[in-house]
Chain A
Amino acid sequence: GQQLNQSPQSMFIQEGEDVSMNCTSSSIFNTWLWYKQDPGEGPVLLIALYKAGELTSNGRLTAQFGITRKDSFLNISASIPSDVGIYFCAGPPVGANNLFFGTGTRLTVIP
């Protein structure tokens, strides 16, 4: 099956610090999506990327579609306590009709 590996698995950071995480796949994607999931909730779409090299921001979040089309990156600047949660990358491999999810990065922000 499709493998989407996220790194790091978990992060503990101080409030105000910047965060970087990435997602790599074994095959090419045409779309990359980044979601955040709070405990006991469904994932919420943060950013969508549609072409290689694309860099898109949503407030303090910035995501990039890797030029190889096999990876994507998410950065969070000046983290705040409400950034706590699990961040998932997701996407449909070329030719697929549904989303595959990454393994997730669990973020903890220490006030």
Chain B
Amino acid sequence: GAVVSQHPSWVICKSGTSVKIECRSLDFQATTMFWYRQFPKQSLMLMATSNEGSKATYEQGVEKDKFLINHASLTLSTLTVTSAHPEDSSFYICSARALAGVQYEQYFGPGTRLTVT
């Protein structure tokens, strides 16, 4: 149980284009989903927190107009990187917290590697 999927697993795009990454909780409903970014050999850095049906809360330093988050249902959240630049190249990982169950246990997707050329 507690499986989170992400799509695509990797993507290469040209500078200036937009990329959408999907995150789905497959066997549970997620009250809250989180988006992290991880640079090589570094830890995970929280970008934003989203609750179903409401606006995402962004961490300091994360541009909300650049990283658009939509949490349309209890099983789906999307992250759109708009006008991507090479410095946006990173490993993006989503996480979901179950609607029921133990508080603070988060389950992570397999990640999406974004390369902007």
On whether the two chains bind one another, the answer is: yes
A99 touches B104 (CB 8 A): yes
Q: How many residues of A contact B (CB 8 A)?
A: 22
- The residue in A31, A35, A101 that gathers the most chain B C-beta atoms within 10 A of its C-beta is A101
> Which residues of B, 91-106, contact A by the 8 Å Cβ criterion?
91, 93, 95, 102-106
Q: How many residues of B contact A (CB 8 A)?
A: 24
B105 touches A43 (CB 8 A): no
A45 touches B104 (CB 8 A): no
Q: CA of A42 to CA of B91 in the docked complex: distance in angstroms?
A: 9
Q: Closest A-chain residue to B34, C-beta based?
A: A98
Interface residues of B (CB under 8 A from A): 2, 4, 6, 32, 34, 43-46, 49, 91, 93, 95, 102-111, 113
Name 22 A/B residue pairs within 8 A (Cβ), A-sorted: A31-B103, A33-B104, A40-B113, A41-B110, A42-B6, A42-B95, A42-B108, A42-B109, A42-B110, A45-B105, A45-B106, A48-B105, A88-B43, A88-B44, A92-B104, A99-B34, A99-B46, A99-B106, A101-B44, A101-B45, A102-B43, A103-B43
